Amino acid sequence: MSADQLFTPITIGKTTLANRMVMAPLTRSRASQPGDVPTEMNAVYYAQRASAGLIISEATNITNQGKGYSLTPGIYTDAQEAGWKKVVDAVHAKGGKMSLQLWHVGRISNRLVQENGAAPVAPSAIQAVKSTSFVILPDGTPTRAPCDAPRALETAELPGIVADYVAAAERAMRAGFDFVEIHAANGYLLQQFLATGSNRRTDQYGGNMENRARLLLEVIDAVVAKIGADKVGVRLSPNFIAHDIVDDESEAMAMYLAVEFNRAGVAYLHIAEPDWAGGQPLSDTFRTNLRQQYQGVIMTCGGYDAQTADARLASGTADAIAFGRPFIANPDLVARYQQGAALNAPDQATFYGGNEVGYSDYPVLG
């Protein structure tokens, strides 16, 4: 690929994107309360960044049970759906495309954000002792709190989890999203099922690789059947080690899943690279093998800039590159990269929670 390939169109499923720059999913904790509803402020923020070829929304709870962080939006009530429609309409009005990332945190939660103070759920009753949940204390103080011990999901409950993903995907389509992204990465519920260290089940959802992948593949098949494979993406994070994830078969699982994603016709595969969390970097051999196993669009995310993104595209092991923090501080990141302009520095103090400050008030060129 040539050095300007980052700015050329690409088609995912049946949807053509203006360029290969993707805005990565970024939790910003600014949903309105009560109800975790997207607002006009969120619509302004996303519309400012609509020059990205694709915007992937912040991770969005498919149920209250799937919630682990206060002030994060949902997609399981009519009000949430209506709020997201305002966001998508604003992005589309600026010529952008958008994917809704569907999220169930599993054990990365605390009773303070669960309905009626229930315990979080997980594939097995193994606590994430090194991880925290973001909660609002009864006195209104926001804080990080240890993740509570989860209970293991009963086998009979798992069809309900699948149904929750399907219902969320249906709502996303009604709200106007171009895609949904199944979040099976970063230590949350679906990766907890995939990983050897967090899944100790003895039923058909635990044990060998095929069993540990069963829930994710059931989710994908059900969502594809409902909304069409051309509108479905999935995020994986091979070698990820945060959120107490231990996995002896991480790369092998990714290869197995890549073959299954081809079978299902999944439109894109979004790889969250492990380096930032301290995981073993992905090798060139792994990337080449993944490219051979999966024929859909591969996007990758992990500390790229314009130059390293061009190099990754030129290698042929990725078709699009997702950028996270650069998009926080640079609504016009595409133009800045095209022009070689300097970037605004992100203000980490305003990443989570708050108002427009550090959210929709970053300056643009000119």
DSSP codes of every residue in 349-360: GGSSSSSSTTTT
Eight-class DSSP state of 322? E
C-alpha of 118 from chain center: 25
What would the CATH number be for the domain defined by 5-350? 3.20.20.70
pLDDT in the model for residue 1: 36
pLDDT in tens, 118-140: 999 999 999 999 999 999 999 99
CB atoms within 10 A of CB 54: 28
Eight-class DSSP state of 115? G
Dist. CA 115–CA 348, nearest whole Å = 30
Classify 100 as helix, strand or coil. strand
pLDDT in the model for residue 154: 98
The pLDDT confidence band at residue 278, using thresholds 50, 70 and 90, is confident
pLDDT in the model for residue 169: 99
Give, in order, the Cα–Cα distances in Å from 254 to each of 263, 311, 363: 14, 23, 39
Torsion of CA 55, 58, 63, 64, to 10 degrees: -160
pLDDT above 50 for 78: yes
pLDDT in the model for residue 148: 98
Dist. CA 311–CA 318, nearest whole Å = 10
Can you give the pTM of this predicted structure? 0.97
Dist. CA 334–CA 322, nearest whole Å = 12
Residues annotated as part of the active site: 188
pLDDT above 70 for 184: yes
Dist. CA 220–CA 182, nearest whole Å = 8
pLDDT in tens, 192-222: 999 999 999 999 999 999 999 999 999 999 9
Dist. CA 176–CA 234, nearest whole Å = 19
User: Is the separation of the CB atoms in 281 and 273 below 8 Å?
Assistant: yes
Dist. CA 67–CA 104, nearest whole Å = 6
Nearest to 238 by CA among 251, 252, 256: 251
The pLDDT confidence band at residue 2, using thresholds 50, 70 and 90, is very low
Eight-class DSSP state of 2? -
- Could you tell me what percent of the chain has a pLDDT over 70? 99
pLDDT in the model for residue 275: 82
- Average pLDDT over the chain, rounded to an integer: 97
Half-sphere exposure of 271 (CA within 13 A, CB side): 30
pLDDT in tens, 29-77: 999 999 999 999 999 999 999 999 999 999 999 999 999 999 999 999 9
CB atoms within 10 A of CB 200: 13
Dist. CA 325–CA 223, nearest whole Å = 30
